[in-house]
Amino acid sequence: MLQLMRYLKPYGLTIIFIIALILLQSLADLYLPTLMSDIVNNGIVQQNTGYIWKMGGFMLAVSVFGTIFSVLASLYASKVSSAFGKVVRQRVFSKVESFSIQEFDKLGTASLITRTTNDINQVQQVILMILRMMVMAPLMCIGGIIMALYKDAQLSLVLLVVIPILIITILLISRVAMPYFKIMQKKLDRINLVLREGLTGIRVIRAFNRTAYEAERFTDANKDLMNTAVKVNQIMAFMMPLMMLLMNLCVIAIVWFGSFRIDMGEMMIGDLMAFIQYAMQIMFSLLMMSMMFVMIPRAQASAVRINEVLNTEPTVVDIATAQSNDSDKANLHSYQPSSAVEQQSRAALRGEVILSFDNVSYTYPGAEKPAVDKLSFQCRSGEVTAIIGGTGSGKSTIIQLIERFFDCNEGEISFKDIELKDWELHALRNNIALVPQKTTIFSGTVADNIRYGKEDATDVEIKQAATVAQALPFIERMEQGFDTVLAQGGTNISGGQKQRLSIARALVRKPDLYLFDDSFSALDYKTDSALRAALKTYIGDAAMIVVAQRVSTVMNAEQIIVLDEGVIVGKGTHEQLLQSCDVYREIVQSQLSEEESA
């Protein structure tokens, strides 16, 4: 929480101003009972009507100022807390955008979303509370005590007894109740879980006729929740009546002892009335503060989660930012790849090495074994390199290393003869187009989604990419065509359609290297073969890396790399591998019946 407070620094002056305003407001509030006691003491007792009118007017004036201070304080407090939320949100979002995949895996996407949204709202809310109430409560409390002492120090001894009792009671009740709140949250989560399982597995439950069993499971969770909820609410039932009782008994004590003070002539009747009001103010501010103690731990948990994001440094460092002072070096490569010279020399590059892995190893943080171990291979322009292997064999890791979503631990990867680490990230990725395993569709039109691959793509280019990706038929079938608005996550189109759009997005980029990470899985056969035929001519001299699980997808590649548990166990064409590589043969046999593989 404190760490986040540094974002309040720019508003230091405003905050001081807010505190000053609240101080003034509290003073005004505290002054009113004194004025009232003056009315009683001097006006009523001495039967001075003019005095009463005068003081009444004075009280009204004080009240007006108090209100003005309060409204101003509210204005600035709202502005500061909202600004705080804005700044923190900004920082967190920018930070997350700079993260590599590794940080995403570590913190979790869903968690990052909550941190950026809910957690920040939570903290912002508490900041507002602090600015409005938290500052006010202690001021009122201290002010009340001072005024009480000023009115009658000896009578204040009553407060000395009552206040600790009040505090102890609050602490005691929250001590008893707090653990139950936590348990209650767990039970709520449990009932949610049972419900969700019941909904997602509805077909299975029905198929196995286990509706009754599920209902029982739910009833158990429900009963459990009810029992805890009853307990929590019963404990909380004590809170308010007990507090009120304590306050009221305090008033009685004040009147009782106060009457002795009056008897002794140490105190006036109006003072006693004012004193009671001060005592009330003190106790209410204590209650208010106790409420803060409930709010702050909740915000604290959020603050910790936010800080965790802010304190995470991306593992992949862009040369552009790392050497921003040494700009010459950065510029050296950043413009080179997309230059016209490069475009022209492309033809000459056909068959030449565009990407090379040299003894590359990568171990996921916390993993025992490397995900890929001492990989060496090369990809050439105009050729297809296929990577095949089982789950966990490290195929996707290779793709992510090429995109530099994380850096290899050992060895060297170079693209166009320049080591990846020496590329400016933006420039590097400009040269590559990825079709990921999991398709991502953004909310927006079909055209927007394709244009995501190349911001300045013309309509012709987009249509061409869609044609090659076999997306044109279904796009044209839609009423609005390319202007059809897709929902977030593309929920209004099918999996195969999403995949084709995802491919079109990569194609429109026209890069030097295409990465297909198991990207044809949602396509039906006809589409798949049509797409592949169209791809060949469209891609031209660019290189292509295709990750796949299925032999049919890879067998025509110029080079097939067989991965097994992170190690290359075979490299060559389909025919070569059938001869030389056991693992490949095993894969082929498991997928094809004998006559077909021959």
Q: Which of 155, 520, 544, 546 binds another protein (CB under 8 A)?
A: 520
Q: Which of 4, 24, 85, 466 binds another protein (CB under 8 A)?
A: 85
Residue 388 pairs in a beta bridge with 548, 562
Q: Between the CA atoms of 584, 585, 587 and 591, what dihedral angle is there, to the nearest 10 degrees?
A: 140
- Quote the CA–CA distance of 439 and 493 in Å, as a whole number: 12
Between strands 372-380 and 559-564, the pairing is unpaired
Residues 160-199 that bind another protein (CB under 8 A): 181, 184-185, 188-189, 191-193, 195-199
Handedness of CA 568, 572, 573, 575 (dihedral sign): negative
Between strands 418-419 and 410-415, the pairing is antiparallel
Helix (H) and strand (E) counts in the chain: 24, 12
Q: Which residue stretch of 5-13, 320-328, 338-346, 430-438 sits at the interface with another protein (rule: CB under 8 A)?
A: 430-438
Q: Which of 52, 173, 478, 569 binds another protein (CB under 8 A)?
A: 52
Q: Does 456 bind another protein (CB under 8 A)?
A: no
Interface characters, 321-360, with another protein (x: CB under 8 A):
----------------------------------------
Interface characters, 102-141, with another protein (x: CB under 8 A):
--x----xx-xxx-xxx--xx--x--xx--xx--------
In the complex, the smallest distance separating the C-beta of residue 16 from another protein, rounded to whole angstroms, is: 19
In the complex, the smallest distance separating the C-beta of residue 283 from another protein, rounded to whole angstroms, is: 14
Q: Which of 294, 322, 332, 485 binds another protein (CB under 8 A)?
A: 294
Q: Which of 15, 19, 23, 255 binds another protein (CB under 8 A)?
A: 255
Q: Which residue stretch of 165-173, 413-421, 435-443, 466-474 sits at the interface with another protein (rule: CB under 8 A)?
A: 435-443
DSSP assignment of 292-348 equals HHHHHHHHHHHHHHHHHHHTPPPSSPPHHHHTSSSHHHHHHHHSTTTSHHHHHHHHH
- Quote the CA–CA distance of 226 and 236 in Å, as a whole number: 15
Q: Does 504 bind another protein (CB under 8 A)?
A: no
Cβ neighbours for 338, distance < 8 A, ≥ 6 positions apart: 427, 430, 431
Q: Does 443 bind another protein (CB under 8 A)?
A: yes
Q: Does 315 bind another protein (CB under 8 A)?
A: no
Q: Pick the closer one to another protein by CB: 154 or 597.
A: 597
Q: Does 492 bind another protein (CB under 8 A)?
A: no
Interface characters, 355-394, with another protein (x: CB under 8 A):
----------------------------------xxxxx-
What is residue 48's three-state secondary structure? coil
Residues 54-83 that bind another protein (CB under 8 A): 55-56, 59-60, 63-64, 66-67, 70-71, 74-75, 77-79, 81-83
- Quote the CA–CA distance of 134 and 2 in Å, as a whole number: 15
Q: Pick the closer one to another protein by CB: 284 or 358.
A: 284
Interface characters, 522-541, with another protein (x: CB under 8 A):
xxxxx-xx--x---------
Q: CB of 584 within 8 A of CB of 411?
A: no
Residues 264-283 that bind another protein (CB under 8 A): 269, 272-273
What is residue 413's three-state secondary structure? strand
Q: Which residues of 292-315 are buried (b: 16+ CB within 10 A; e: fewer)?
A: beebbeebeebbebbbebbebebe
Q: Which of 370, 394, 436, 566 binds another protein (CB under 8 A)?
A: 436
Q: Which of 432, 466, 535, 547 binds another protein (CB under 8 A)?
A: 432
CA–chain centroid gap for 195, Å, is: 25
Cβ neighbours for 417, distance < 8 A, ≥ 6 positions apart: 353
Residue 432 pairs in a beta bridge with 513
In the complex, the smallest distance separating the C-beta of residue 319 from another protein, rounded to whole angstroms, is: 14
Q: Pick the closer one to another protein by CB: 1 or 205.
A: 205
What Å distances lie between residue 238 and 28, 169, 175, 181, 438, CA to CA? 34, 10, 13, 15, 54
Residues 17-46 that bind another protein (CB under 8 A): 25, 32, 36, 39-40, 43-45
Interface characters, 193-232, with another protein (x: CB under 8 A):
x-xxxxxxxxxx-xxxxxxxxxx--xx--xx-xx--xx-x
Q: Which residue stretch of 302-310, 342-350, 352-360, 590-598 sits at the interface with another protein (rule: CB under 8 A)?
A: 590-598
Q: How many residues does the chain have?
A: 598
Q: Pick the closer one to another protein by CB: 418 or 522.
A: 522
User: In which element (H, E) is residue 457 found?
Assistant: none
- Quote the CA–CA distance of 304 and 300 in Å, as a whole number: 6
- Quote the CA–CA distance of 500 and 476 in Å, as a whole number: 14
The crossing angle, in degrees rounded to 10, of helices 269-310 and 12-38 is 160
Q: Which of 15, 19, 93, 150 binds another protein (CB under 8 A)?
A: 93
Q: Pick the closer one to another protein by CB: 269 or 350.
A: 269
Within 10 Å of residue 96's Cβ, how many Cβ atoms? Answer: 20
Q: Does 405 bind another protein (CB under 8 A)?
A: yes
Q: CB of 103 within 8 A of CB of 111?
A: no
Q: Which of 34, 100, 281, 397 binds another protein (CB under 8 A)?
A: 100
The number of residues that bind another protein (CB under 8 A) is 174
Phi, psi of 567 (to 5 degrees): -115, 145
